[in-house]
A and B are shown apart, each in its own frame.
Chain A
């Protein structure tokens, strides 16, 4: 172990001396990419083995990551990175397969629903082909199976079922010896993701009961209600796992708190797409979080991030203050900014922005 660490430290030192970078292997990436993209070192490459159609707007992508990928625990997510029209995009998705599949066959699956207007999900659906290679990060997230067998309730909405598929598959294989209930909300019967898999799971895993509830097959939308929760035996003793759109999560949280379930019993993972600011386009400003400085400041009007930072007493690097020199470029980890020069809005995700010409629209988080 120590030898290996020394070896990596030595490699990093040598990489800096010879190639001006700390990861010497990534120097060869441009060549590797041309020969075999699975040799890329800058991220973990994963080849798309198969693409399966789940529903009219959902597909499952079977990926084979390079063998150095460290694997994952059921319920975790990964970031994938893809180049779309020359721009590298990162998005987070839950792994929908069980870790057993990775251990046995070396593949993992992502089950991805097309978001209306979503740049990446639509590209994945329309452009990504079998045989292509995309980038993967290590898995993360703490939406995990309880360490001790306890009764469990899953409440899923739409594509929020994906981490739960991985959890259920894993619990069935163990098997996890406590009652497990799934309340799965979908708009219509057609939107049920992995219905066959859920049926098969319910058939072979006797502790599991599955209820699929359609919200939009009646005139009035039919959301989660007290009766649904009444139907779950021993609710108060259960560990509850929520995954779905914001509306469902809020509703479920409220109903569960009313019934006296404690915060420590409720596990959430957000699955909604990043909501763009509810404010109109003309409304600028918002809370800006400077991560490294550990500072949050409110802003209003068309003050730029650079002005906001300076007003807060920070001294970010800057140059021309007119969008030319990129001295002030900084990584934005979340939030939308408007380019003062072009009036265009940025994406909601992680990217580099020029502080001197970026005006926040809604909350923004910066690495600085």
Chain B
């Protein structure tokens, strides 16, 4: 990471705070209209997808219904759920868009998500050993983590994690690695497991039991469509999220260098530990604007649809302070993610490093 002294860090903080204050002062009607429009679109897509699904015995309808439901789930998880739970719309004082009460359409309970993601991941971003999102305790993505033989096959783990992403995210808080190391006991995890079973059961019941049974004669078609929709969402969500922190230039940090850090240092870590990808307006919306991962990490509770306009200012600040602003096309960024997964499946090698950490 580039080193800035105390004064430079303070300057950086001041610059970013100014952007934040400006947006906060400007929040209003426009933001409310935007998120309500997206919520309305989500409802229309989900209702549309579920109504079409029983007619999926006509192949083009099956494709349309599955895609519609998949996109509905993507919108709900990424642009609505994830962002609402960050408190981006708490200022609206609308109980249906409140960070503490929103429950999203995925296996992970909102409560568990707020603990592991909002708190752990966003506070300790990319600090190896503290940010459990860095590799999800399944993948080795930096030489800071010692190599073990089973890492050789981690590409298979990566594929499995992507396919079953909602279940992986749902079980994230189980902290299996700590259970294995006996740092925590199963008993401590019982309340979490109970919530996990309740929410996971609910999600499975809805998509794999209730709606198929409701339309019994075509149950297999509805079941297949719902599995497909969840798969679409899983693959897309995992891909977007991997592009946010595991690209070539996304940096990692040690616990030591972050001890007692200032807000300025926290900002610097967010800027250098995250990565963006470019694309059209709908690519951004469907990624929940996590395509602006840098802006999201610097300002996690500003309404995400504001990131594109903030981006210019953030880039300017990065230039001013000599900080690398990590962005690239979706495909090129994703390529570097795949490279990283493969690269670190092998033990540490002397630096010829095509991937720097």
Contacts and interface: CB of A to CB of B under 8 A. Distances in A.
A28 B40 CA distance: 9
Interface string B189-215: 000000000000010011000100000
A336 to B, nearest CB: 15
A30 B36 contact: yes
Interface stretch (B114-122, B216-224, B312-320): B114-122
Interface string A60-94: 00000000000000000000000101111100000
B27 A86 contact: yes
A103 interface: no
Q: Interface range on chain A: under 10, 10 to 19, 20 to 34, or 35 or more?
A: 20 to 34
Interface string A1-45: 000000000000000111011000011111101100000001000
B86 A87 contact: no
A319 B31 CA distance: 26
A17 B28 CA distance: 33
Given A16-B202, A325-B119, A31 B44 contact: yes
A329 B100 contact: yes
Contact of A352 (B30, B93, B123): B93
Nearest to A330: B100
B91 A30 contact: no
Contacts of A17: 202, 205-206, 210
Interface in B66-86: 85-86
B271 to A, nearest CB: 15
Which bracket fits the contact residues of B? 35 or more
Nearest to A14: B210
B119 A86 contact: no
B276 interface: no
B94 interface: yes
B29 interface: yes
Contacts of B210: 17-18
Nearest to B206: A18
A350 B96 CA distance: 15
Contacts of A18: 206, 210
Contacts of A320: 119, 122-123
B32 A83 contact: yes
From DSSP, what is the main secondary structure of chain A's interface residues?
Answer: mixed
A20 B84 CA distance: 15
B44 A329 contact: no
A319 B123 contact: yes
A87 B97 CA distance: 11
A86 B30 contact: yes
A42 B28 contact: no
A61 B133 CA distance: 54
Contacts of A30: 36, 39-40, 42-43
Contacts of B115: 319, 327
A329 B90 contact: yes
B43 A327 contact: no
B231 interface: no
Given A16-B202, A87-B92, A324-B123, A329 B99 contact: yes
A343 B21 CA distance: 11
A351 interface: yes
A26 B33 CA distance: 18
A85 B42 CA distance: 23
A89 B119 contact: no
Given A20-B103, A320-B119, A325-B300, A85 B205 contact: no
Contacts, number: 104
B90 A322 contact: no
B15 interface: no
A270 B313 CA distance: 49
Given A326-B86, A352-B98, A86 B92 contact: yes
B105 A20 contact: yes
Contacts of B123: 319-320, 324-325
Contacts of B263: 322
A330 B87 CA distance: 11
A342 interface: yes
B167 interface: no
Contact of A86 (B29, B40, B42): B29
Nearest to B119: A319
A324 B87 CA distance: 9
Nearest to A325: B118
Nearest to A88: B93
B260 to A, nearest CB: 13
B100 A86 contact: no
B301 A20 contact: no
Nearest to B85: A326
B202 A326 contact: no
Nearest to A321: B123
A327 B121 CA distance: 13
Interface in A295-340: 319-320, 322, 324-327, 329-330
Contact of A26 (B96, B114, B122): B96
Contacts of A351: 93
Interface string B44-59: 1001000000000000
Contacts of A352: 90, 93, 98-100
20 contacts: A16-B202, A30-B36, A31-B40, A31-B44, A86-B27, A86-B28, A86-B91, A87-B92, A87-B93, A319-B115, A320-B122, A324-B300, A325-B118, A325-B119, A326-B86, A326-B100, A326-B301, A329-B87, A329-B90, A354-B87
Given A325-B122, A326-B87, A327-B118, 5 more contacts: A20-B103, A31-B44, A326-B85, A329-B90, A329-B99
Interface of B: 21, 24, 27-33, 36, 39-40, 42-44, 47, 85-87, 90-96, 98-100, 103-105, 114-115, 118-119, 122-123, 202, 205-206, 210, 263, 300-301
